């Protein structure tokens, strides 16, 4: 027997994306977003509410960065999801986050979050809350690279959002090889 839960915004795993922006006066802001993901080879789509400070910043600066939330920074990553830059002027300072300007887009990188996508705004629709960004660059701190210079998820420790229990979880271990394991059945 299956149990029906009705229409819910539930998938596993959901990402924990930290969107960082500059305000018109240059103040950095960040927010937590679970509703989003890759939607083209060099494109990311998210659903972000029109009333967020982040949204106003993106529309003003036409750019944003998207960092992967990490286990080490879970408290700060949750904080930026429950406090708004519209009300809290020192939001990033309170989160303990420091920023460095992206070399590629007019948006800040969060120093404490080692992997980020640097994006240019393609479009935003306030009716549907859909934000689409062009991925201009992906950057990662050397501390989370493996011996071959690739991003190592075991070092990065990205977290996922559990929308059923409202918790954050670490990624689990490798259980298969993509585009390969299925070949056994082809």
Ligand X SMILES: Cc1cc2nc3c(=O)[nH]c(=O)nc-3n(C[C@H](O)[C@H](O)[C@H](O)COP(=O)(O)O)c2cc1C
**Binding piece for ligand X, criterion CB under 6 A, among 83-91, 93-101, 118-126, 133-141:** 83-91
| 3-class secondary structure, 6 | coil
Kindly tell me which residue out of 20, 48, 58, 95 binds ligand X, with binding defined by CB under 6 A: 48
11 near ligand X (CB under 6 A): no
User: 143, 157 in Cβ contact below 8 A?
Assistant: no
58 near ligand X (CB under 6 A): no
**Binding piece for ligand X, criterion CB under 6 A, among 31-39, 99-107, 145-153, 176-184:** 31-39
User: 20, 65 in Cβ contact below 8 A?
Assistant: yes
63 near ligand X (CB under 6 A): no
* CB closer to ligand X out of 83 and 171: 83
Backbone angles phi, psi at 36, to 5 degrees: 180, 170
What does the per-residue mask of binding to ligand X show for 161-180, with x meaning CB under 6 A?
x-------------------
31 near ligand X (CB under 6 A): yes
In the block, which residue shows the tokens 């904080």? 79
Min dist CB 47 to ligand X, Å, is 5
User: 97, 30 in Cβ contact below 8 A?
Assistant: yes
Q: How many residues of this chain interact with ligand X, rule: CB under 6 A?
A: 20
Written as one string, the DSSP assignment of 46-69 is EE--TTSHHHHHHHHHSEEEEEEP
**Binding piece for ligand X, criterion CB under 6 A, among 82-90, 112-120, 133-141, 147-155:** 82-90
127 near ligand X (CB under 6 A): no
61 near ligand X (CB under 6 A): no
Please give the residue ranges that form the binding site for ligand X (CB under 6 A): 29, 31-35, 47-49, 52-54, 78, 81-86, 161
């Amino acid at each position: 027997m299956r149990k029906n839960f009705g229409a819910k915004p539930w998938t596993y795993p959901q990402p924990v994306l930290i969107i960082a922006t500059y305000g018109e006066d240059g103040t950095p802001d960040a927010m937590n977003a679970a509703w989003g993901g890759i939607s083209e080879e060099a494109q990311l789509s998210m659903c972000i509410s029109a009333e967020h400070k982040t949204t106003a910043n993106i529309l003003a600066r036409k750019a944003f960065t998207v960092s992967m939330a990490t286990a080490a920074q879970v408290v700060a990553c949750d904080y930026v999801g429950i406090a708004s830059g519209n009300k809290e002027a020192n939001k990033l300072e309170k989160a303990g986050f420091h920023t460095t300007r992206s070399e590629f887009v007019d948006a800040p990188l969060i120093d404490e979050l080692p992997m980020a996508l640097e994006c240019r705004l393609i479009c935003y629709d306030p009716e549907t809350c859909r934000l689409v960004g062009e991925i201009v660059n992906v950057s990662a701190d050397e501390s989370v690279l493996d011996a071959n210079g690739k991003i190592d998820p075991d070092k990065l420790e990205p977290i996922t959002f559990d929308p059923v229990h409202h918790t954050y979880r670490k990624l689990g271990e490798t259980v298969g090889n993509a585009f390969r394991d299925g070949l056994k059945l082809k």
